[in-house]
Amino acid sequence: MGKKRIITTTKEELLKEREKIDESLRREVKVKFGKRVTEGKVYISVSYNNTLITLTDPDGNVLTWSSAGNIGFKNTKKATPFAASKVAEDISQKAKKLGIDKIEVLVKGVGSGRESAIRSLATHGLEIESIKDITPIPHNGCRPPKIRRV
């Protein structure tokens, strides 16, 4: 079988490769949507179990997303405010790479990480134009069960 060679890459080569990927991602976004995207919408979906954040362009086409489970949190730690702030930090870095600096925030859900995610987006250099709560609220609810006859 012969000797196995392990190919090692230096940090410089890894950085160059990462820059190529980032540049191709920017170019892809520019080509896909026709013009350079500088504004976007951030959808924050917070539940009792997880935090999901999606970055879209103004029309609603998804550019990138992240979640607490995607970052590496497991089980009940995914629902903490700390995890939500880390997810928001990740999304803000991705937004900077795409060239987005102004965002509109739409929050959905009843979890504990709502405010911490918004604060983290603001502190990491994204200019928040508006914050809107889009949590679904039932107007009349489900039909009640039949009356029990004994």
Record the tokens describing residue 141, joined without a space: 């609810």
Q: How many Å apart are CA 57 and CA 37, to the nearest integer? A: 7
How far the first Cα of the chain sits from its last, in Å, is: 80
Q: Is residue 138 part of a domain?
A: no
Count of Cβ atoms closer than 10 Å to residue 119 Cβ: 14
Q: Is residue 114 part of a domain?
A: yes
Q: How high is the mean pLDDT of the chain?
A: 88
pLDDT tens digits, residue range 80-122?
999 999 999 999 999 998 889 999 999 999 988 999 999 999 9
Question: How many domains is the chain built from?
Answer: 1
Residue 134 makes CB contacts below 8 A (sequence gap 6+) with: 106, 107, 108
Q: What predicted TM-score, i.e. pTM, was given to this entire model?
A: 0.75
In sign, the C-alpha dihedral spanning 70, 124, 53, 107 is positive
Q: What is the arithmetic mean of pLDDT over 38-64? A: 93
Greater model confidence, 36 or 49: 49
pLDDT tens digits, residue range 20-31?
877 777 666 665
Domain containing residue 109: CATH number? 3.30.420.80
Q: Is residue 111 part of a domain?
A: yes
Q: Is residue 12 part of a domain?
A: no
Q: Is residue 53 part of a domain?
A: yes
Greater model confidence, 75 or 9: 75
Q: Is residue 92 part of a domain?
A: yes
Q: Is residue 13 part of a domain?
A: no
Domain range for 90? 32-133
Please state, for a pLDDT cut of 90, what percent of the chain lies above it.
61
Q: Is residue 14 part of a domain?
A: no
Lowest mean pLDDT among 27-41, 55-69, 105-119: 27-41
